[in-house]
A and B are shown apart, each in its own frame.
Chain A
């Protein structure tokens, strides 16, 4: 079955530390990839997306992600986190050949940044 895995469920780190969140998927074929963020009490917002081209994608708020096709991965990174990055982060994947209803989300990673 097709799946999206986020390996870390909870991450706690200090301000200025670097962040890397893993996302792996099990699909074959061409995929579209997304990272969303959900700040406490808010709805999901798009951080960044990958459709094609340069596998290193820059997003908002200093986030970036690297698509490694051979590893079926789309890991999210930020060199130096701030307290305001405390949030839950979701990876989402869909094959370009699939219909809208096949978009799958990972289980999410709760990130807590301490001052």
Chain B
């Protein structure tokens, strides 16, 4: 299994450009999430999905769009990049626990994005 894969690893954008960060998992996990990691702020949830066709907003959704047409893929779209979106982006997946709650997350290698 490849686990959770993300592309690209690095990206530089100019303000106003749009792009899509790709995320895929081959573990048949129902849950997928996108986080951004900024120094001193931990991981903040951008958007998440509890299954194909179902997405919801996290803590910091503004400026980002997601869709989940398949179980495997969960792309993150930046609509009009801004310098404040300079960050490291991590995709993660997980699965249900029979007794309630969620299992641990499996993280991708991250995408380092710089917006000039």
Minimum CB–CB distance from B98 to chain A (whole Å) comes to 11
Complex: A51 Cα to B103 Cα, angstroms: 9
Interface residues of B in 65-113 (CB under 8 A from A): 90, 92, 94, 97, 99-105, 107-110
Is there contact, CB below 8 Å, between B40 and A43? no
Kindly specify which of A14-22, A61-69, A72-80, A100-108 makes contact with the partner chain. A100-108
Tell whether, in the assembled complex, residue A100 and residue B42 are in contact, meaning their CB atoms are under 8 Å apart. Answer: no
Contacts of B109 in A (CB 8 A): 42-43
A94 close to B (CB within 8 Å): yes
User: What CA separation (Å) do A97 and B48 show in the bound complex?
Assistant: 17
Which range contains the number of B residues in contact with the other chain? 20 to 34
Please determine whether B100 and A96 come into contact, CB atoms closer than 8 angstroms: yes
Interface: A56 (CB within 8 A) = no
Task: Check A105 against B50 for contact (C-beta < 8 Å).
Answer: no
**Neighbouring A residues of B33 by C-beta, 8 Å:** 100-101
Query: Contact between A32 and B101 (Cβ–Cβ < 8 Å)?
Result: yes
Residues in A with CB closer than 8 Å to B105 are 34, 44, 46, 103
Residues of B close to A8: CB separation below 8 A:
none
Contact in complex: A96, B104 (CB < 8 Å): no
User: B56, A101: Cβ atoms under 8 Å?
Assistant: yes
Closest 10 CB pairs of A and B: A96-B101, A32-B101, A96-B100, A107-B42, A43-B107, A105-B43, A105-B42, A44-B107, A46-B104, A101-B48
With A32-B102, A44-B43, A107-B41 given, can you name 12 additional A-B contacts, CB distance below 8 Å?
Answer: A30-B101, A34-B104, A36-B107, A43-B109, A44-B90, A44-B105, A51-B97, A51-B99, A96-B100, A100-B33, A100-B94, A105-B44
